[in-house]
Amino acid sequence: MFISFEGIDGSGKSTQLVLLREWFEERGRSIVTIREPGATYLSEAIRDILLSNKQSITATAELLLFSAARTQLVETVIQTSLDRGDVVLCDRYVDSTTAYQGYGRQLTLESVEICNSLAARGVMPVLTFFIDVPYNEAQTRMQFETSQAKPDRIESSGPEFFERVRSGYLAIAAQEPSRFIVINGVQERDAIHREIVSIVERRL
Ligand SMILES: Nc1ncnc2c1ncn2[C@@H]1O[C@H](COP(=O)(O)OP(=O)(O)O)[C@@H](O)[C@H]1O
Ligand SMILES: [Mg+2]
């Protein structure tokens, strides 16, 4: 079973991923958790380039780098884990590219779609939880994090960018309502977790 989490930084993706991981572990399931981009040597190296503030990166280069990182991950980790019968929980996947590079950076949705389908190789989550939190709330939450002292290159893109990203996520939700589930992220973490679990249980 392949499940992904989406939302802007500070929305609570990692928090919910850990809670869902524990829930599956208590039920004896073998779990693989992955952050995107990352989880392979190549993908982590690309992540460092993408998030670094040292240089500017054009929107198309950004799209292709994310896609390269993703396809390496799909072929070497996700596909093999799913073949073994593991539950794969992914912190971001193709919908991030649609929302950030498509809607946020305003690349054509056609070019994003080509890159996403090339990179994903037909491997798609059965469920995606979009944790919807207003930009200001997410910013406030991140200010309390010591590990995230400085915003990375993409996080520094400003409020209008993140408004477009959110509209992108909502557009995906309208197109794929059975896979892409919008969760109100402005709730207690346990309440969000219970909502996610009830949806997962229905799909098991
Ligand atoms: N439901 C919630 N309500 C309030 N704060 C939260 C909630 N979920 C997570 N947080 C806090 O917000 C910050 C960002 O959460 P995190 O899970 O790291 O988000 P993301 O992975 O989406 O960037 C963390 O400090 C986390 O403890
Ligand atoms: Mg996170």
DSSP secondary structure, 36-104, as one string: SS-SSHHHHHHHHHHH-SSS---HHHHHHHHHHHHHHHIIIIIHHHHHHT-EEEEES-HHHIIIIIIII
Range of the domain at 148: 2-35+82-109+122-203
Q: Which pLDDT belongs to residue 145? A: 73
Q: Is the pLDDT of residue 116 over 70?
A: yes
Average pLDDT, integer, range 79-102: 98
Structural domain includes residue 196: yes
Ligand nearest to the CA of 141: 1
Q: For residue 126, give Cα distances in angstroms to 22, 71, 186, 204.
A: 19, 18, 24, 10
Tens-place pLDDT, residues 160-195: 999 999 999 999 999 999 999 999 999 999 999 999
pLDDT band at 30 (very low <50, low <70, confident <90, very high): very high
Structural domain includes residue 198: yes
Average pLDDT, integer, range 4-26: 97
Structural domain includes residue 134: yes
Residue identifier of the C-alpha nearest atom 9 of ligand 1: 12
Q: Is the pLDDT of residue 148 over 60?
A: no
Structural domain includes residue 115: no
- Find the 116 Cα to ligand 2 centroid distance in Å: 21
- Find the 35 Cα to ligand 2 centroid distance in Å: 8
Residues in the chain: 204
99, 172 contact by CB (below 8 A): yes
Structural domain includes residue 9: yes
124, 79 contact by CB (below 8 A): no
Structural domain includes residue 57: no
pTM equals 0.96
Structural domain includes residue 48: no
Amino acid letter, 133: V
Q: Which comes out higher in pLDDT, residue 150 or 90?
A: 90
Q: Which comes out higher in pLDDT, residue 148 or 105?
A: 105
Tens-place pLDDT, residues 36-87: 999 999 999 999 999 998 989 999 999 999 999 999 999 999 999 999 999 9
Omega of the bond leading into 125 within 30 degrees of 0 (cis): no
Tens-place pLDDT, residues 120-142: 999 999 999 999 999 999 999 98
Show Cβ contacts of residue 30 under 8 Å, excluding neighbours closer than 6 positions.
84, 85, 86, 87
Ligand nearest to the CA of 137: 1
Domain count for the chain, please give it. Answer: 1
Q: What is the dihedral of CA 60, 62, 68, 74, to 10 degrees?
A: -120
Q: Which pLDDT belongs to residue 29? A: 97
Strands 87-91 and 31-35: parallel
Place of tokens 């993908």: 43
Q: Phi/psi of residue 142, each to 5°?
A: -70, -25
Structural domain includes residue 137: yes
Q: Which pLDDT belongs to residue 150? A: 79
Q: Is the pLDDT of residue 147 over 70?
A: no
Domain with 16 in it: what CATH number? 3.40.50.300
127, 199 contact by CB (below 8 A): yes
Q: Is the pLDDT of residue 22 over 90?
A: yes
Instruction: Locate the ligand 1 atom nearest the alpha carbon of residue 185 and give its number.
Output: 1
- Find the 131 Cα to ligand 2 centroid distance in Å: 12
Q: Which residues line ligand 1 (CB under 6 A)?
A: 7, 9-15, 141-142, 144-145, 187-189, 192
Residue from 141, 143, 196 whose mutation best tests the ligand 1 pocket (most atoms within 8 A of CB): 141
